[in-house]
Amino acid sequence: MSLSKNKSKLITSLQQKKYRQKYNLFVAEGVKVVRELLNSELEVDSVFSTDENFSCEKVNVTLISEEELKKISTLKAPNKVLGLFKIPEQLEVQKNGLIVALDGVNDPGNLGTIIRLCDWFGVKQLVCSKNTVDCYNQKVIQSTMGSITRVQINYVNLINFLTEVNIPIYTADMDGNNVYKTTLPKEAILVMGNEANGISAEINSIVNSKLTIPRFGDLQQTESLNVATATAILLSEFKR
């Protein structure tokens, strides 16, 4: 069995958000990532592989050539398997526990890493502003390495969401309180901002507390940390 032209066209169209929304599908690539998603509760649409030994119980695997895989893959070195999965319905946010909120994070690699961090630190909910990069972007999916199946992700009007919660709201700020000297609660929202501009002025105005990660270098000339790196440090402190 080979890859039909219509299916090939569909898969390549899913590189764009509007088509992911139209068909309610997203693409995952690579043996490990696809296997993780197949072992989750996500509904699978179809799987294509250059490896005749790759199989799954949920759906018949279509055997394709390496040339066919290269045509539909976004990876420089495609890794044997590509799968189409249905985008799950967005569940209601539970406004308790430790929640990470993202305000306009644009880089797919950063979002994917933050999803993995949430998974690692047991943060079950990630809330994103509407202008944050789509979590079903293929680069995000690859970066999560399967963690997207274990973190609930919601896209919301972030201003409305933050004004409706009854737990403390924290954000990273160069002029904030030293995170290593601050007692942090078990329930809170940690808001992380855009890579270039940080937290928007509207969000900044409703934040309860601001935290800083102090610089220890002698010259202290580094302007800021990558948003995913800062998220890792702050989540570690919240969990410590």
Domains and CATH numbers, the chain: 5-86 (3.30.1330.30), 98-239 (3.40.1280.10)
Mean pLDDT across the stretch 19-48?
A: 95
Of 192, 195, 197, 168, nearest to 182 by C-alpha is 168
Give me the pLDDT at residue 5, please: 86
CA distance 187 to 168: 7
Give me the pLDDT at residue 223, please: 65
Give me the pLDDT at residue 221, please: 60
Give me the pLDDT at residue 218, please: 63
Q: Which two tokens stand for residue 84?
A: 């189409």
Residue 59, SS3?
Answer: coil
Give the helix/strand (H/E) hosting 43: none
Q: What are phi and psi of 125, to 5 degrees?
A: -130, 130
157 has pLDDT over 90 = yes
Banded pLDDT at 22 (limits 50, 70, 90): very high
pTM value? 0.92
